[in-house]
Amino acid sequence: MASIDSLDPDTSFKHWIASDLRFFREREERSLSQLGQVMGSSRHTVSNIEHARDGWNMNEDQAARLDAYLRLNGHFQRLVRYARTAHDPDWFAEYADHEARALVIRTYRLSLIPGLFQTPEYARALITASRMVEDAEAAVDNRMKRQEVLARKNPPLVWVLLDENVLHRPIGGVQVMRDQLARLRDAAESQHVTIRVVPQLAGFYLGLEGSFNSLTMETGELVFIEAPGGGRLIQGSTEIRDFGVRWDRIGASALPWDASRDLIAKAMEQLDDHLAKVHP
């Protein structure tokens, strides 16, 4: 939770919106409840947006109402539009909160095993090698906690598309990768999980442009696009439909689930053979 004093509008669109919302509310000498009436929202919503709390973002309707009331010539509407297309290092925390409540999770991965199915050893190898995290064990624990969504009473349906190269990149060494593939194989046997692999022979396909996740929530859809140092969370825009089409086109290049399962098993066998030669 961000305090008012900790907001940095120079580095975050979310903080910029929060800071300006409070500035204009105080300038007009309006209470949280009064501005909530203007925005068509509750006092609670206005407070959460002003504090840039995770899961609370100004939407286009609220922005339009504010701009009309304050005569700002589209100021908040522009901020909301740019916030949806901007890179923000803080938005993955918000994505993880949505993921824990998702009804359907779709994840496409070009280069790594999805976090929801990583073993602690695989995750530790990734996090340690990146040299971007001060407390690697805490980061591993956080990643493992994300996987609790798969064990909840009504788990989400999880659809996974993987580039085949993910299966052959020995992160953490041969044994770690072999155990990771076993985890992936077991996950594929779950009735809530479908894993399909895009084979190397597919040649060019849209997935080569980068990984992304999409979530189906009770309130709608959202997409998270990863990038070095952060990413971009897309909510409530026509871009959501574009990524739906992208998902379908990537899926058209993927193998059926049973052939994908066999490909994972084959990759495991290759690692088993390598281990047998090293430790006869």
Per-residue pLDDT of the chain (280 residues), as tens digits, is 455 667 888 777 888 999 999 999 999 999 999 999 999 999 999 998 999 886 678 888 999 999 999 999 999 999 887 776 655 555 566 778 889 999 999 999 999 999 999 999 999 999 998 877 788 899 899 999 999 999 999 999 999 999 999 999 999 999 999 999 999 999 999 999 999 999 999 999 999 999 999 999 987 888 888 766 566 777 766 788 899 999 999 999 999 999 999 999 999 999 999 989 887 7
DSSP code, position 118:
-
Q: Tokens at residue 198, please?
A: 């895009």
Which pLDDT score is estimated for 1? 42
Which pLDDT score is estimated for 236? 63
φ, ψ for residue 117, nearest 5 deg: -120, 10
Starting at the edge strand found earlier in the chain, the sheet holding 104-109 runs: 193-198, 157-163, 104-109, 212-217, 220-227, 230-235
Residue 112's alpha-carbon distances to 41, 97, 122, in angstroms, are: 41, 22, 10
Which distant-in-sequence residues (6+ apart) come within 8 Å of 4 by Cβ? 22, 50, 51
Which pLDDT score is estimated for 84? 67
Picking from 85, 102, 46, the residue whose alpha carbon sits closest to that of residue 69 is 46
Question: Burial level of 185, CB count in 10 A (0-12/13-18/19+)?
Answer: middle
Which pLDDT score is estimated for 277? 87
CA atoms within 13 A on the CB side of 7: 21
Which pLDDT score is estimated for 237? 66
Which pLDDT score is estimated for 261? 95
Q: What is the value of pTM for the model shown?
A: 0.73
Residues linked to residue 108 through DSSP beta bridges, in sequence order: 161, 212
Which pLDDT score is estimated for 230? 61
Which pLDDT score is estimated for 54? 66
